[in-house]
């Protein structure tokens, strides 16, 4: 194995470990958040952070793991009713989170200035997520009450706060030297 191959291998392992740790950390936060905000999990915030701070596949995995953790807590701990409608809503929430992530990812890769990218990815993830849920409400029998200005505003506040906290946690995490990917070793000439 050449020095260049070894450094890429070490960097890949470090990046994988860092991504796995980040996903596990967000999943742990989802456990706590699921208790407090059961039906208002910040999937738009998670989608935006995944779109702006991870590669495509890892960001998608982050969204899926967060959704799975939220659903597991809901059904196993919070006693969500085990009905076809509840399961269908769970699936709709997962699909909405993934579609929100896809929208955020599209914005994140558009080459905008970083601050603008953060704002636009969050807005895109939130608008698409809520729009997908609103659309699902027609097929699944939802209530217009769930989409009033007050409720959507409340969900927006939760997501905005979660996005800010996740950005701060991400910044703190990458400041820790043991979470940074290893620097490539110099190659022999």
Place of tokens 């738009």: 44
pLDDT at 24: 72
Residue 180: pLDDT over 80: no
Model pLDDT, residue 174: 75
Pick 46 or 25 by higher pLDDT. Answer: 46
Instruction: Please give the residue that has the higher pLDDT: either 178 or 102.
Output: 102
pLDDT for residue 2? 34
* Dihedral sign from CA coordinates of 147, 56, 95, 24: negative
If pLDDT is split at 50, 70 and 90, which confidence band does 56 have? Answer: very high
Q: For residue 6, what pLDDT is reported? A: 34
Higher pLDDT, 4 or 87: 87
Name the more confident of 43 and 10: 43
pLDDT tens, position by position, 63-116: 999 999 888 888 888 888 999 999 999 999 999 999 999 999 999 999 889 999
CA dihedral 149, 150, 151, 152 (to 10 degrees): 40
Break the chain into its structural domains and give their ranges.
Answer: 15-179
Across 147-162, average pLDDT = 91
pLDDT at 18: 62
The structure's pTM equals 0.80
Tell me what the pLDDT averaged over the chain comes to: 81
Give per-residue pLDDT as tens, 113-127.
Answer: 999 999 999 999 999
Q: What pLDDT, on a 0 to 100 scale, did the predictor assign at position 188?
A: 57
Residue 8 predicted with pLDDT over 50: no
Rounded Cα gap, residues 158 and 188, in angstroms: 51
């Amino acid at each position: 194995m050449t020095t260049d191959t070894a450094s890429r291998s070490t960097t890949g392992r470090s990046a994988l470990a860092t991504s796995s740790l980040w996903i596990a950390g967000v999943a742990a936060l989802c456990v706590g958040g699921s208790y407090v905000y059961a039906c208002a999990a910040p999937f738009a915030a998670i989608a935006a952070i995944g779109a702006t701070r991870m590669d495509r596949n890892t960001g998608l995995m982050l969204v899926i793991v967060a959704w799975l953790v939220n659903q597991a807590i809901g059904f196993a701990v919070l006693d969500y009713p085990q009905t076809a409608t509840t399961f269908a809503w769970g699936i709709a929430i997962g699909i909405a989170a993934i579609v929100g992530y896809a929208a955020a990812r599209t914005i994140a890769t558009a080459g905008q200035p970083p601050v603008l990218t953060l704002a636009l990815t969050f807005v895109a993830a939130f608008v698409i997520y809520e729009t997908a849920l609103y659309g699902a409400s027609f097929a699944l029998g939802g209530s217009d009450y769930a989409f009033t200005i007050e409720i959507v505003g409340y969900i927006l506040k939760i997501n905005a706060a979660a996005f800010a906290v996740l950005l701060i946690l991400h910044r703190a995490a990458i400041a820790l030297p043991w979470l940074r990917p290893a620097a490539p070793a110099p190659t022999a000439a």
